[in-house]
Amino acid sequence: MRKFHSWLPVAALAFASFIFQTTEFVPIGLLTLISEDFQMNPADTGYVMTFYAWTVAAISLPLTIATAKIDRKKLIIALFLVFIASHYLVFRAPNYESLLAARLGVAASHALFWAIAVPLAVRVAPENSAAKAIGALIAGGSIAAVLGVPGGSFLGKEFGWRVTFAVIGAVSAAVMFALWRLLPSLPAKNSGSLRSLPVILRRPAVLWVYAMIAIVVSGEFTAYIYVGPFFEHYGFDKDHVNLLLLAAGGAGLLGSYLYGRFGEARPAVTLIAPLVSLTAILLLLRLAASSMFFALAASLVWGTVVVMIFMSLQAKLLNAAKDAADVANSIYSSIFNVGIGAGAFIGSLVSLSTGAEFVGYAGSAILFCSLLLCLPILRSIRLPARAKK
C-alpha cells in the first residue's frame, strides 16, 4: 500500500499531461463548429493550432527562466490557475480574436508545464524509477489521443464547442486540487537559469538530443498530420481513418510500458530499434494502405515505437542536463513544437506538389537523417555472444 501511495503524485502529473495534450489537439475536431460559430472559413480557423504551437515554442524558455527560483508546487498550482481561467475565457469568447487571446493563456501554461513536469515527475517518483515516471507522463498523452480528443470532439458536436473547453477547465480544477494535496513542498532544484544556457548548449549530448528531436518530430508529423488524406486517397472512409488514429494512440500505452520495462537496461536498443521501425513504417505506408489489416498493423507499430523514441530522447536529455533540467526541457519543448510546425509545412508542400500519397516517403527520408545521427551509439549495443560449441 505504501508503494501505491508513493506513485500517487506521479499519477496526478500523468493526469495533468492528459489534460494538456487534450486541450492542445481537441480544436482539430472542433474547427468546423468554431468556424460556423464565428462565420469563418475552416482553413482560416485552423490558425488557432498554428498560433498555439508557435506560442509554446516562443515562450517556453523565457517563462522557465523567469520562474526558475519558485517552489515547484506553488508554480504548478499557479500555472493551473492560469490554465483554468483561460479556458473560461475560451468558453466566453465573443469572437475569433478573443478566442486566440484566451488560447495564449492556455499555451503559456502548457509551455511551463512541459518545462517542469518531467523533472518534477522523476523527482517525486520512488527511487530508481525515472523511466517509469517518464513513461507515466507520456502515457497520459497517449490516453489523450484515445479518449481525450475524441471525447472532446463528441462533447462539442453534441453540446457545442464551448462546452468542451468548459469541461476541460472543470476537470483541470479537480486535477489542480489533487496536485495541491499530493505534492510536497518542492523548492526549486537544478532548474537552471540564463547563465545555464551557454553551459548546457556546449554539451554534445544535449545538442545531439535537440537535433534528434527536431528531425524526428518533423519527419513523423510530415506524415502524421496528413495521414487522414493519405488513407482516404486509397479508399478508406473517415470512420476507418479514425479507427487507425485511435489504434495508434492506444498503442502508445504499450510503448510507454515497453520503455519503462527495458529503457534503463537497454537505452541504445530502445531508441534505435523503434527509430528503424518508424522509418520503415513510413517508407512502406503505401503498402500498408493496400488493406485494413496492414493499415491497422502499421498504426499499432507506429503508435508504439514513436512513444518509445520520445521517451528515450527525454531520458537522455535529463541525464545530460541534470544541473539545469527545467531550462533544458523548455528548449526541448520549443524544438518539439517547431518540429510539429515544420512537419505540417513539409507535409503541405508534398501534398500540394505531388499528392498526399507521398507524405510517407517524405517523412521516412527525414527520419533516415536521424538514423545517421545514431551511428556513433551503435557501437554501444552489445549483442549476446554465441554459445561455444
pLDDT in tens, the chain (389 residues): 455 567 888 999 999 999 998 998 888 778 778 888 998 876 577 678 778 888 888 888 888 888 888 898 999 999 999 999 999 999 999 999 999 999 999 999 999 998 888 888 888 888 777 778 887 887 887 788 777 878 888 888 889 999 999 999 999 999 999 999 998 888 877 655 667 778 788 888 899 999 999 999 999 988 887 887 788 888 888 778 878 888 888 888 888 888 878 877 888 888 999 999 999 999 999 999 999 999 999 999 999 999 899 989 988 888 888 777 778 888 888 898 888 888 878 888 888 888 888 989 999 999 999 999 888 766 555 544 444 43
Cβ count within 10 A of residue 209 = 25
What are phi and psi for residue 113, nearest 5 degrees? -60, -50
DSSP, res 144: I
CATH of domain 191-379: 1.20.1250.20
Q: Which residue has the cell 490558425?
A: 47
278 close to 308: Cβ distance less than 8 angstroms: no
Residue of 203, 208, 183, 176 lying closest to 192 (CA atoms): 203
114 close to 140: Cβ distance less than 8 angstroms: no
345 close to 329: Cβ distance less than 8 angstroms: no
Q: In whole angstroms, what is the distance from residue 324 CA to residue 200 CA?
A: 8
Dihedral sign of CA atoms 253, 306, 259, 212 in order: negative
pLDDT of res. 387: 40
CA–centroid distance for 94 within its chain? 30
Domain limits, the chain? 1-189, 191-379
DSSP, res 384: P
Q: What count of residues does the chain have?
A: 389
Amino acid at site 286: R
Cβ count within 10 A of residue 378 = 10
**pTM passes above 0.85:** no
pLDDT of res. 389: 36
- Reported as half-sphere exposure (CB side, CA atoms, 13 A), residue 285 has a value of 30
Q: In whole angstroms, what is the distance from residue 294 CA to residue 53 CA?
A: 32
Architecture label for domain 1-189: Up-down Bundle (1.20)
DSSP, res 187: -
287 close to 230: Cβ distance less than 8 angstroms: no
Q: Which residues make Cβ contacts (< 8 Å) with residue 196, sequence separation at least 6? A: 323, 324, 327
